[in-house]
Amino acid sequence: MTPSDDVATLPAFIAERLSSPRPVALAERRDGQTVSLSAQDVHRRAAAVAHDLRGRGIGRGDRVAILANNSIEWLVADFGILYAGCVVVPMFATTADDQIAFILADSEAKLVFVEDDTSAERLRAAVPNAPPLVALTALPLSSAKGQGDTVQAQDDNHGDEARLRSYREGIAPDDLAVLIYTSGTTGQPKGVMLSHRNIVSDVMSASDPADSALHEGEIGLSVLPFAHIYEHTNALGYLNNRLIHYVTTPDHLLEDLRAIRPTWVAFVPRIFERLIAGIIGSARAAGGAKAKLVPWALAVGTAYERAIRNGGVSPLLRVQHALAKRLVLSKIPATLGLDRLAYFVSGSAPLHRDTALTLAAMGFGVLEGYGLTETSPVVTVNRPADNVLGTVGPAVKNVQIKIAADGEVLVKGPNVMLGYYKVPREEQPFDADGWFMTGDIGTIDARGHLEITDRKKELFKSSGGKWISPSRIETAIKRSIYIGQVMAFGNNRAHPAVLVAPNWDLVRAKLDLSAETTTAQMAADPRVRALMIRETGANTADLATYEQIHRVAILPRDLTIEDGELSPTLKIKRRIVEQRYAALIEAAYAEDLRARVTAPAD
């Protein structure tokens, strides 16, 4: 869908979508109570932000940053910045101080919205030359301590609609709207310049109700950070279709699911994996028959879903599935607060087909999509009427995809970025014909569905000359409920190996280890090692022989953002991790495989 001229810029699009009266447009659970804003409330508060920014001398094209966790105030600030004709610079709340300093300086931000007064004080101490800070602590928006900065959301501050419209006069669809810095896994982040046309066209194509099945009055829930273009575009998609949009954070996700009972939720694969592991872990912790019944039912359900897609279900499996569904599977959605769910949406990383099959066994459909920050982000997505597991769907409207000679996915369309900020033209990732080079390797099937196999720069070659996809190995291993993190490696080695961080709590329960046992002690425990060897071997047994894992190194703790091992989007910084854990890697390759011990099967 191509945006019409009257909604071709984000401020015009947002204002138009908020113009229809709705009692609840944005909502959030706080201390067990629902805080909500009507469509008119959201517009008025965003207008107040815009008037205040203009009153400070911050105008069209100026950069304004947001550094905070998800909240309805985050979106109000976002809309207000755009209403003022300014450029939004979103940052993850987990961004390291040195990268915050870099982004603020590189973007030349004029003001930063932060979460609260404490965040403002910490940021001022960490980045003394930061621009003025304003805390998003409440509506009306209040000031950061010691700064004297207040954004008032009074009724008398939004009344001049003509003045508000004047802020967006002269803004062209191809003007910069959002400057979002890619977290990257090496070096400093790069600013991705997204125009109004980029984002509005992508929102309207990806969330077109004719294809997406999003409908007015349904409930959408956001848990991924709005600083991630994936959730930012989801939020605008909910607005486009006038859904009731609830906001939550990972810490409150489970309780909010039960309270809100959403229709649509967008997750990343790691959340699905944790959801399945949590269901099995809770059942085993409960003990008794439940400890065996729930894992059995999930296994049967997964086998059933695989069989119906592969052309046939045996009579025995059909009977087993009927029993599993009656005793366990049919009860899971209501228990989780997902009994009204239409579909999950999955993106940002590969979702293993078996994970999708297990979710289907519980009654949950998953629509997997693909995109990058540089493409606003949606390039392809499966639709309810055309959902092929194992693919990320066909291209959305007005977007073209093709595969280069070396297997790289190329993209062209109105959603493709203007370019990287302050990067010379010759260093921009476009080929001679203007196709955006994604850096991802993939294939397109006969029906036009894209399958992503790996990042081009992350493929490595074994000493035997085989090109190996670390993502393919990692995604397979993540099917294990006992493994929390995994990184495959093996360039110029005879065989690939992996670093793993166990799912510590589930492994403690599985092996009857004390709750006081540290992660470092567990990593050195032969029983834990035997379990990790068993799980990595079992979950790569269906891969090609040269992809199967026989060598395993166990991390003494989880990889973290704070220690510089993960990006803010939780992608592993491979080079850093390989350097930091070089001794563990060498020990894995030095192990005598003939002398090892493997845990018995359950």
- Residue 258's φ and ψ, nearest 5 degrees, are -70, -35
Residue 125 has pLDDT above 70, yes or no: yes
pLDDT tens digits for range 11-54: 999 999 999 999 999 999 998 899 999 999 999 999 999 999 99
Residue 505 included in any domain: yes
User: Using the 8-state DSSP alphabet, how is residue 569 labeled?
Assistant: T
Identify residue 406 by its one-letter amino acid code: D
Whether residue 18 is found in the same domain as residue 137 = yes
SS3 state at 455:
strand
Paired sense of beta strands 264-267 and 190-195, if any:
unpaired
Residue 1 has pLDDT above 70, yes or no: no
Residue 502 included in any domain: yes
Considering only residues 342 and 156, tell me which one the structure prediction assigns the higher pLDDT: 342
Residue 170 has pLDDT above 70, yes or no: yes
Residue 488 has pLDDT above 90, yes or no: yes
Query: Whole-angstrom Cα distance, residue 368 to residue 345?
Result: 6
* Predicted pLDDT at 15: 96
pLDDT tens digits for range 255-287: 999 999 999 999 999 899 989 999 998 998 899
Query: Whole-angstrom Cα distance, residue 73 to residue 71?
Result: 5
* Predicted pLDDT at 519: 96
Identify residue 174 by its one-letter amino acid code: D
Grade residue 153 by pLDDT with cuts at 50, 70 and 90: very low
CA angle centred on 486, ends 484 and 488, rounded to 5° = 170
Residue 457 has pLDDT above 90, yes or no: no
Among 457, 473, 488, which residue terminates a domain?
A: 457
Grade residue 138 by pLDDT with cuts at 50, 70 and 90: very low
* Predicted pLDDT at 599: 67
Tracing tokens 């109700």 back to the chain, one arrives at 209
Whether residue 225 is found in the same domain as residue 334 = no
Helix/strand/coil (H/E/C) assignment for every residue in 120-132? HHHHHHHCCCCCC
Considering only residues 459 and 531, tell me which one the structure prediction assigns the higher pLDDT: 531
Determine the distance from the C-alpha atom of residue 30 to the mean position of all C-alpha atoms in its chain, rounded to a whole number: 23
Q: Is the dihedral of CA 509, 332, 262, 368 positive or negative?
A: positive
C-alpha count within 13 angstroms, C-beta hemisphere, residue 336: 24
Tracing tokens 């959408």 back to the chain, one arrives at 220
Tracing tokens 């949590």 back to the chain, one arrives at 278
Tracing tokens 């954004």 back to the chain, one arrives at 151
Among 441, 457, 473, which residue terminates a domain?
A: 457
- As a whole number, the mean pLDDT across the chain is 91
Residue 196 included in any domain: no
Give the pLDDT mean for 518-544.
95
What would the two tokens of residue 20 be? 């229809």
Give the pLDDT mean for 221-241.
95
With contact defined as beta carbons under 8 Å apart, do 442 and 459 qualify? no
Give the pLDDT mean for 136-142.
54
What is the tally of structural domains in the chain?
3
Please report, for the domain that includes residue 225, its CATH number. 3.40.50.12780
Grade residue 2 by pLDDT with cuts at 50, 70 and 90: low
Query: Whole-angstrom Cα distance, residue 20 to residue 40?
Result: 8
Residue 538 included in any domain: yes
Please measure the distance between the N-terminal and C-terminal CA atoms of the chain and give it in whole angstroms: 51
Whether residue 146 is found in the same domain as residue 237 = yes
Whether residue 374 is found in the same domain as residue 239 = no
Residue 554 included in any domain: yes
Query: Whole-angstrom Cα distance, residue 366 to residue 332?
Result: 16
Among 423, 457, 491, which residue terminates a domain?
A: 457
Whether residue 244 is found in the same domain as residue 278 = no
Residue 191 included in any domain: no
% of the chain with per-residue pLDDT over 70: 93
What would the two tokens of residue 65 be? 């940053």
Residue 594 CB coordination number (10 Å): 5
This prediction has a pTM of 0.88
Whether residue 396 is found in the same domain as residue 523 = no
Q: Domain of 321?
A: 269-339+341-457
Residue 152 has pLDDT above 50, yes or no: no
* Predicted pLDDT at 173: 97
Whether residue 246 is found in the same domain as residue 299 = no
Identify residue 431 by its one-letter amino acid code: D
* Predicted pLDDT at 160: 78
CA distance to 115, 220, 415, 525, 533, per residue, from 238 (Å): 23, 7, 18, 48, 44
Whether residue 387 is found in the same domain as residue 473 = no
Q: Which residues of 185-194 are buried (b: 16+ CB within 10 A; e: fewer)?
A: beeebbbbbb
Q: Is the dihedral of CA 329, 331, 333, 339 positive or negative?
A: positive
Whether residue 159 is found in the same domain as residue 288 = no
Whether residue 108 is found in the same domain as residue 244 = yes
Whether residue 116 is found in the same domain as residue 226 = yes
Determine the distance from the C-alpha atom of residue 556 to the mean position of all C-alpha atoms in its chain, rounded to a whole number: 26
Query: Whole-angstrom Cα distance, residue 295 to residue 503?
Result: 17
Determine the distance from the C-alpha atom of residue 288 to the mean position of all C-alpha atoms in its chain, rounded to a whole number: 36
Residue 187 included in any domain: no
Please report, for the domain that includes residue 586, its CATH number. 3.30.300.30
Residue 180 included in any domain: no
Grade residue 96 by pLDDT with cuts at 50, 70 and 90: confident
pLDDT tens digits for range 50-66: 999 999 999 999 999 99
Whether residue 153 is found in the same domain as residue 19 = yes
Q: What is the DSSP string of 384-419?
A: TTB--TTS--SBPTT-EEEE-TTSEEEEESTTS-SE
Question: 504-511 and 526-539 are packed helices; what angle lies between their axes, rounded to 10 degrees?
Answer: 110
* Predicted pLDDT at 113: 96
SS3 state at 238:
helix
Q: What residues contact 213, with CB distance under 8 A and at least 6 apart?
A: 342, 343, 383, 384
Residue 187 has pLDDT above 70, yes or no: no
Residue 552 has pLDDT above 70, yes or no: yes
* Predicted pLDDT at 189: 86
